[in-house]
């Protein structure tokens, strides 16, 4: 397979898995919103935000570190080094995760009383979620280790299929057997335990590394030294991702957070496309950089950006033109957050278009550049949230996110062009742009005729019109060699791959 075919095959596997996972999580959020109400959804969202931030401290950048080093050792056929680094990294992750777990439990009372002014239920959610951290962190490190083999299926099966399914099923069962309170307390922990058991099974199958080898493993200072700048990048990136939720919780109340969260979750669906391509882009760019293949790196970068745009634009059109109908999925009271969805959709599209610069900088050995970028942008984001949330509430949080992601994308694009000599712009990008404009006009004209129908029917018809129009416009503009290679890569998914 050439680069385009490899990307198409692995990114499609990743996209299908992530799309399934995000769909299940979306159903989880929608059911939770309808069953437990805005206030309890806000409590769940705050507890989840705190735990995801703590998770980054526990990972300490080790997930990206093991991805890079497994990819490099695989390139030099050093299988012994691969197994050694996996064992060592898992041991470090276990130690860090236990420390972070204890910190989250210890700080739970202060967070609830002094920061969020919440109820005792919020503290319970934070404490129970803390016990999920060791399981989640080891799961992610092990999953990224399997990704270093340029195989995404194990990571996808566990993190994007099994984990959200267990989360949803646990929520439904606990809700009906116990109460609304337990439905926001237990599912995260249950899902984390099951996911770790599954990924350790796959890791042993792929590498021969099993859990009993983690404790006696020697610590690798090499991976730790590479990863620690990524810790700060990840911390700041996670703060960026959850800053709006956290600061809404500080300046307003849990009900406002519950109103905002579904819009943020919906806009985040676009990130599925971005993450699907980055999952295979990251190890490939690392390998090409080590081999000093500049032309292939540039082609890879441009191809990824182009196909992210091609897949993201149709979804963006639906979310923007039918924002009220989309928010109706969560209940009538959530329609007031439709403008938030529009702003966050534009913000996510910007991230999808120019966000590949971040992984390109990291995988070329420049994690500290990403660290500086992240520090600058998170400071800007905090300032904007402090200025705008007290005045505009949920719209202030949305605009702060939009401005911050735009600045981050522009910084990364400039640095990738200057430091690595990569740029995303080609004439081929005109195709999805023209197709998007044409489709927007068609859907805007069709909108009055399909709006009166039931929410689900309207969205299904909008999707049918959007994707058929977009695909036909692309077809009229003709497919080039890269497009045909991508199609061949998609067809290869049907063929059984040989085990390495």
Domain range list for the chain: 3-492
Is pLDDT of 428 > 50? Answer: yes
C-alpha distance from residue 442 to each of 431, 435, 465, 468 (Å): 17, 11, 8, 11
Is pLDDT of 478 > 90? Answer: no
Q: Is the model more confident about 118 or about 123?
A: 123
Is pLDDT of 93 > 80? Answer: yes
Given this model, what pLDDT does residue 496 score?
46
Neighbours of 120 (CB within 10 A): 10
Given this model, what pLDDT does residue 498 score?
45
Is pLDDT of 158 > 80? Answer: yes
Q: Classify each residue of 255-266 as buried b or exposed e, where b means 16 or more C-beta atoms within 10 Å of its C-beta.
A: bbbbbbbbbbbb
First vs last Cα of the chain: how many Å apart? 14
Is pLDDT of 94 > 50? Answer: yes
76-100: average pLDDT: 80
Is pLDDT of 176 > 90? Answer: yes
Given this model, what pLDDT does residue 333 score?
84
Taking the C-alpha atoms of residue 109 and residue 76, their distance in angstroms, rounded to an integer, is 50
Length of the chain, in residues? 500
Taking the C-alpha atoms of residue 53 and residue 56, their distance in angstroms, rounded to an integer, is 5
Highest mean pLDDT among 80-89, 172-181, 233-242: 172-181
């Amino acid at each position: 397979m050439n680069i385009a075919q490899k990307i198409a095959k692995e990114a499609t596997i990743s996209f299908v898995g992530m799309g399934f996972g995000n769909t299940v999580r979306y159903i989880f959020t929608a059911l939770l919103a309808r069953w437990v109400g805005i206030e309890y959804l806000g409590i769940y969202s705050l507890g989840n935000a705190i735990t995801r931030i703590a998770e980054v401290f526990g990972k300490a950048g080790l997930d990206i570190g093991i991805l890079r080093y497994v990819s490099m050792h695989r390139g030099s056929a050093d299988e012994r080094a691969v197994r050694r680094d996996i064992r060592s990294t898992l041991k470090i992750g276990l130690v860090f995760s236990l420390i972070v777990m204890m910190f989250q439990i210890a700080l739970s009372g202060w967070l609830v009383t002094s920061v969020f002014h919440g109820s005792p239920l919020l503290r319970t959610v934070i404490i129970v979620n803390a016990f999920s951290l060791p399981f989640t962190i080891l799961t992610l490190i092990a999953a990224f280790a399997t990704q270093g083999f340029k195989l995404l299926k194990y990571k996808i099966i566990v993190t994007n299929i099994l984990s959200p399914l267990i989360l949803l099923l646990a929520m439904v069962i606990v809700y009906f057997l116990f109460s609304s309170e337990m439905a926001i307390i237990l599912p995260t922990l249950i899902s984390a335990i099951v996911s770790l058991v599954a990924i350790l099974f796959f890791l042993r199958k792929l590498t021969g590394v099993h859990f009993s080898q983690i404790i006696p493993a020697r610590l690798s200072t090499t991976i730790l030294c590479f990863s620690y700048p990524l810790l700060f990048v990840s911390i700041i990136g996670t703060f960026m991702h959850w800053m709006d939720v956290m600061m809404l919780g500080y300046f307003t109340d849990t009900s406002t957070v519950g109103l905002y969260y579904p819009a943020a979750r919906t806009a985040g669906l676009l990130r599925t496309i971005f993450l699907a391509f980055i999952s295979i882009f990251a190890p490939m760019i690392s390998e090409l950089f080590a081999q000093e293949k500049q032309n292939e790196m540039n082609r890879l970068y441009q191809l990824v950006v182009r196909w992210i745009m091609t897949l993201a634009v149709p979804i963006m059109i639906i979310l923007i033109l039918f924002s009220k109908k989309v928010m109706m999925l969560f209940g009538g009271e959530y329609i007031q957050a439709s403008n938030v969805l529009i702003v966050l959709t534009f913000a996510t599209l910007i991230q999808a278009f120019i966000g590949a610069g971040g992984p390109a900088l990291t995988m070329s050995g420049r994690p500290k550049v990403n660290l500086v970028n992240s520090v600058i942008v998170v400071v800007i984001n905090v300032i904007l949230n402090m200025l705008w949330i007290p005045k505009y509430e949920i719209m202030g949080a949305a605009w702060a996110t939009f401005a911050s992601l735009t600045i981050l994308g522009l910084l990364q694009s400039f640095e990738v062009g200057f430091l690595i000599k990569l740029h995303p712009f080609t004439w081929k990008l005109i195709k999805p742009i023209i197709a998007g404009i044409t489709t927007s006009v068609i859907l805007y004209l069709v909108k009055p005729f399909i709006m009166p129908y039931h929410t689900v029917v309207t969205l299904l018809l909008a999707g049918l019109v959007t994707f058929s129009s977009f695909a036909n416009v692309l077809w009229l503009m003709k497919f080039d060699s890269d497009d045909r290679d991508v199609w061949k890569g998609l067809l290869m998914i049907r063929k059984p791959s040989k085990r390495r």
